[in-house]
Amino acid sequence: MPSRNITFDPDLGVPYGTNLTIYGGANFSTTFNITNVANTAFDLTDYTGSGAISKSVSIGATLGITTSFTVGITSALGGKLNISLGSTATRSLAEGRYVYDVLVSSGSTTYTLVNGNIMVVPPVSSAP
């Protein structure tokens, strides 16, 4: 999946909204290139990341965390963060709409960097 460029303002603390698609049974990965309002890389040094998705059952309602992403900071000074799920994890996701968020933490500071909807599309056929 291509990388996504997002702008995050830590003073406002409002996550950037972007929607994603996961294809069931396939590896999923996307990289976020995070900049601040000065259009420079958001420094992720000393931060750790986490992310989760939850099945959305109706407007405003979810079923709790369905699965968690593997989150890796691939360039702390460059503001690059990657989220991923392996094919086994995506295969177990039911078709439909999910919500997700990605957080970074350092000490007592936690920011929700990005959130949105994820559409899970089931495979139509599989290889023999």
Whole-model pTM: value is 0.88
d(CA 104, CA 32): 12
Please write the tens of the pLDDT for every residue from 47-88.
999 999 998 876 666 567 789 999 999 999 999 999 999 999
Q: Which CATH class is domain 4-121?
A: mainly beta
d(CA 78, CA 84): 19
| Helix or strand run (H / E) with residue 91 | helix 87-91
Please write the tens of the pLDDT for every residue from 19-57.
999 999 999 999 999 999 999 999 999 999 999 999 887
